[in-house]
Amino acid sequence: MADFDDFCYPYHVHDYMLQEQESHRHQQSPTLPRNFRRGSTSEKQLDAKTLRRLAQNREAARKSRLRKKAYVQQLESSRIKLTQLEQDLQRARSQGFFLGGCAGTVGNISSGAAIFDIEYSRWLEDDQRHMSELRTGLNAHLSDSDLRIIVDSYISHYDEIFRLKVAAAKADVFHLITGMWTTPAERCFLWMGGFRPSDLIKMLISQLDPLTEQQVMGIYSLQHSSQQAEEALTQGLEQLQQSLIDTIAGGPVIDGMQQMAVALGKLANLEGFVRQADNLRQQTLHQLSRILTVRQAARCFLMIGEYYGRLRALSSLWASRPRESMMSEDHSCQTTTELQMVQPSQNHFSNF
């Protein structure tokens, strides 16, 4: 019988024991993950990503601070502008009128209309400056090139009021079309929120002599085309008004809300009519500038400005006239004297 030490295990049992010993040795001395080594490539990549993320965070914070600063500056600018608007309104009230000349309407006016009236008041102040430049340029006999600069500046000045009216029509078209931003005398001649181009041309023709035959033909052609456009717009507005009447008056009472919704949709077309009328007015002024010489154009715009200035003066005289219950001979003489002071030495508008 062989000794116990000399006993030989089968090959597969021997291999199994060797594997068990190797496993036990690994359990007694656990190893770190293969990628957990100082200075490894993966650790360096992780640090680079972190650095990029930190840089992005710093850039986002910087942009956020800039946006906050811009927002604060915008708020401050809006506050200053609002304060200025309030001062303008207070100054207008203290002078006894509300910008456009319609006293007593402050409580019923919309914010958009109030802003337009303030901007229009500033436009009138600039208008006086432009008229002074035109008058000085004509009296000083400036060269055509220098006078052209003044005339072009005045045309741009009129373009500005048309831009203001586009915004005002969106905010409160009724304020524009009823002429509440103008004086009472101006409202007598109002057409769709402004002057009628053909009437303006008619008033200017006799004051612009001498005109060449080509200029006369151009002006009369402009007047004719303006009249055609005015008639088309007037007919369109009349059709809109009749359609509104039919919509509001027709149908059973039970459909009243539906009628109002349809009427509101039709009423929105008023803005389009005012914008088209203003576009016609603007194009008429530009066409007059092209037909006339630079000196004739300067005289033309100066006469237009003086005409509307006299209408505003007439409204002031009308507002301050003595009432029938207080009229006396002295008051009548005083009013006559004031009218004579407004009357120019040479009446440029006697044919109007």
- pLDDT digit string, tens, across residues 179-234: 989 999 999 999 999 999 999 999 998 888 789 999 999 999 999 999 999 999 99
> Per residue in 270-281, is it b (16+ CB within 10 Å) or e — as a string?
bbebbbbbbebb
Structure tokens at 312: 């505003």
Nearest partner of 330 among 338, 319, 343, judged by Cα = 338
Q: Using CA atoms, how far apart are residues 102 and 183, in angstroms rounded to an integer?
A: 7
Burial of 218 (0-12, 13-18, 19+ CB in 10 A): middle
CA distance 109 to 125: 22
Q: For residue 15, is pLDDT > 60?
A: no
pTM score above 0.75? no
Dmax (CA) for the chain in angstroms is 165
- Confidence class of residue 300 from pLDDT cuts 50, 70 and 90? very high
Span 277-294, average pLDDT: 96
* 282: nearest Cα among 134, 153, 163, 148: 163
Q: Which residue has better confidence, 184 or 23? A: 184
Residue 341's pLDDT band (cuts 50, 70, 90): very low
